[in-house]
Chain A
Amino acid sequence: MEQQPAKEPQDQLFKCFSYTSRIVDCPPSSFQPDERLAYRFTFENIDNINTFLPVSMINPQRFTPGGCPDSVLCASFGLSLYATIENARRKLKNLAKSIAKRGYNTIGTHIAEGVIDRNDGVISPIGSDGHFTLHESTNADLAAKFVVVHRVI
């Protein structure tokens, strides 16, 4: 089947648009489509219903009172990914030391690998810790692309 050309960010429709449209500059205009290898925390069973859901779409929402900046609120409608398996492993190991043990049920225990492409949405610049955020397009299906490659906890 002939592959469809990637849509420009302004032409993409995003899965969480009904929520993010209320937030100024969300997804941020600096986010761009890209094709790259990516890593995400998952559970051993990657088909877990929450594995590829943005945190703000999971009930109950984990937040502390007092609000948060729009940039953080916006990011909560995206998916956290890492540029390398080492970046992901380091973060998950540090979290495992510092959060209550039941947190594993929330963030996952394994790392999955997959390739995101320009039709999957737009991504943030990659942070110094390798983290970036993907705002998924309506057509994205990361569950079909990612496979578990590493157990951390």
Chain B
Amino acid sequence: MISIHGQLLPEFPLPDLKKIADLIYYDGPFLSLFSSNEGKNYFYYWCDSNDTSNRWLVFELDGKTLNDFLSKKLPLRKVIQNAIEGFVISVDIEGGFDSYKFLNPTKLSVLSLPDEYLPEEDSFYAFEPLFSQDLKHENLLEITA
């Protein structure tokens, strides 16, 4: 995987987020929407892998940014670059559905993201969300209807 430069954290700080939907999916998710108990929105954005792990960028976004992305007004590249407080957490997930570990959690500035990790300038949303079982997100349903 590409070397990234940031602040290595002692543990992944967001292990309890609730999955809402996979927003970009092909034979597995590339972008998933999560929510915290406080109702904050988070994206898991896939960016890299090696023989044992997949690397995800996890970051908070505000409701307007989420709405603008889903309504195709804002490209994903800008969504990532506009992450709240200007940082993302990179985490390598090792394992499978049944058992997995969060490795190498690293806080890094969006300005230091390798270009290989960013989508194109015109990465406007062009997919259908796959909702997680038993979860409702009325705003998302309205936006994507």
Residues of A within 8 A of B (CB): 41, 54-55, 59-70, 72-73, 76, 80, 91, 94-103, 105-107, 129
Chain A residues, CB < 8 A from B27:
54-55, 62, 76, 80, 106-107
Smallest CB gap from B23: residue in A? A98
Q: How far is the CA of A76 from the CA of B25 in the complex (A)?
A: 11
Chain A residues, CB < 8 A from B82:
none
Chain B 108-145 per-residue mask, 1 if CB under 8 angstroms from chain A, else 0: 00000000111110111111101011000000000000
Smallest CB gap from A72: residue in B? B130
If A55-B28, A62-B28, A62-B49 are given as contacts, then 4 extra A-B residue pairs at C-beta distance below 8 Å, sorted by A number, are A68-B97, A76-B28, A100-B48, A100-B119
Cβ of B28 and Cβ of A67 under 8 Å apart? no
Chain B residues, CB < 8 A from A96:
120
Cβ of A98 and Cβ of B119 under 8 Å apart? yes
Smallest CB gap from B102: residue in A? A65
Smallest CB gap from B15: residue in A? A65
Interface residue? B19 (CB, 8 A): yes
Q: How far is the CA of A98 from the CA of B120 in the complex (A)?
A: 6
Cβ of B123 and Cβ of A65 under 8 Å apart? no
Q: Pick the contact of A61 from B34, B96, B132 — CB < 8 Å?
A: B96
Cβ of A67 and Cβ of B47 under 8 Å apart? no
Residues of B within 8 A of A (CB): 15, 17-19, 22, 24, 26-32, 34, 44-54, 56, 76, 93-97, 100, 116-120, 122-128, 130, 132-133
Given the interface pairs A65-B100, A99-B24, the reply to whether A94 lies near B126 with Cβ below 8 Å is yes
CB within 8 Å: A-B pair count: 125
Chain B residues, CB < 8 A from A129:
128
Chain B residues, CB < 8 A from A60:
49-54, 93-96
Cβ of B127 and Cβ of A94 under 8 Å apart? yes
Chain A residues, CB < 8 A from B22:
64, 68, 72
Q: How far is the CA of A94 from the CA of B56 in the complex (A)?
A: 20
Given the interface pairs A64-B22, A65-B19, A94-B127, the reply to whether A99 lies near B46 with Cβ below 8 Å is yes
Shortest distance from the beta carbon of B92 to any chain A beta carbon, whole Å:
9
Shortest distance from the beta carbon of B116 to any chain A beta carbon, whole Å:
5
Chain B residues, CB < 8 A from A41:
26
Return 10 A-B CB contacts under 8 Å, by A number. A63-B93, A65-B93, A66-B32, A67-B133, A68-B22, A76-B28, A94-B127, A95-B30, A99-B31, A107-B26
Given the interface pairs A80-B27, A100-B46, the reply to whether A66 lies near B18 with Cβ below 8 Å is yes
Q: How far is the CA of A59 from the CA of B93 in the complex (A)?
A: 12
Chain A residues, CB < 8 A from B17:
65-66
